[in-house]
């Protein structure tokens, strides 16, 4: 059996609800949610890495790939040692990674991507509005300024959308994200429950 993590990718533009859905999935046994945005925000803001993150995120830019992959790896390692992530039993739900084709190729040695959930919203204005509200609620500097939000979308279109091409031979499920969280969740579950059932069967956990 491959030692790579069995992985589900939550993919989509900033503000589309990847974090909301990832956090819900994390409450279900057998799923482990890993969000690079959350990992970065949890860094000590005064530390060297915390300052580096601020430098990029406050401009709407991506943190360099080598730093991102290293911090993500360390975080997963720590969660594994704490017994919070069980690599063989859990499906890893990745949120915010990969955000570039280079990250997707660096991820290959760690992750066996089983499915991609593409949360889609064609109404950019609606996403801007969600982000403005989120910035106030969660005190996120990256979403507080309209120019930074615009920059984040440019980066998404230039760097992140091509990731879909990288995974074009994979099972990509497109879901309309502009509905209630429960309606979006239902469609995500339709796509990923069969993957978990297959995984559990492979592990011998199901009849």
Residues that bind ligand ADP (CB under 6 A): 14-15, 18-19, 36-37, 40, 56-57, 61-63, 68, 96-97, 99, 103, 142, 152
Number of neighbouring beta carbons within 10 Å of residue 142: 23
We find the least distance from the C-beta atom of residue 194 to ligand ADP, in angstroms, to be 27
Strand ranges (DSSP E) for the chain? Answer: 5-11, 31-35, 91-95, 111-120, 172-176
The nearer residue to ligand ADP, 142 or 187, going by C-beta atoms, is 142
Q: Which residue is nearest to ligand ADP (CB)?
A: 37
Whether the link from the prior residue into 111 is cis, omega within 30° of 0, is no
Phi/psi at 140 (5° precision):
-100, 115
Q: Looking at beta carbons only, is 128 or 200 nearer to ligand ADP?
A: 128
Contacts of 21 (CB under 8 A, 6+ apart): 10, 117, 119, 181, 184, 185, 188
Q: Whole-number minimum distance, CB 142 to ligand ADP, in Å?
A: 5
Cβ proximity to ligand ADP, 34 vs 196, nearer residue? 34
Query: Smallest distance from the beta carbon of 95 to ligand ADP, in angstroms?
Result: 7
Nearer to ligand ADP, 69 or 192 (CB): 69
Numbers of helices and strands, H then E, in the chain: 9, 5
Shortest gap between Cβ of 115 and ligand ADP (angstroms)? Answer: 19
The residues with which 172 forms a beta bridge, in sequence order, are: 116
């Amino acid at each position: 059996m491959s030692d790579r993590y069995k992985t589900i990718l939550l993919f989509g533009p900033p503000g589309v609800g990847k974090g909301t859905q990832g956090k819900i999935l994390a409450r279900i046994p057998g799923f482990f949610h890993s969000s690079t945005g959350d990992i970065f925000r949890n860094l000590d803001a005064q530390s060297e890495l915390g300052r580096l993150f601020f430098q990029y995120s406050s401009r709407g830019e991506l943190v360099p790939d080598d730093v991102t992959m290293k911090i993500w790896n360390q975080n997963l390692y720590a969660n594994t040692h704490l017994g919070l992530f069980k690599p063989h039993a859990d499906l890893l739900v990745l949120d915010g990674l990969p955000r570039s084709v280079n990250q997707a190729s660096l991820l290959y040695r760690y992750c066996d991507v089983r499915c991609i959930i593409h949360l889609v919203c064609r109404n950019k204005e609606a996403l801007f509005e969600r982000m403005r509200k989120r910035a106030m609620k969660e005190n996120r500097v990256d979403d507080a300024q309209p120019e930074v939000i615009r920059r984040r979308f440019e980066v998404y279109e230039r760097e992140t959308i091509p990731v879909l091409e990288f995974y074009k031979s994979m099972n990509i499920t497109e879901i309309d994200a502009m509905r209630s969280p429960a309606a979006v969740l239902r469609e995500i579950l339709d796509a990923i429950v069969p993957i978990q059932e297959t995984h559990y069967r492979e592990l011998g956990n199901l009849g």
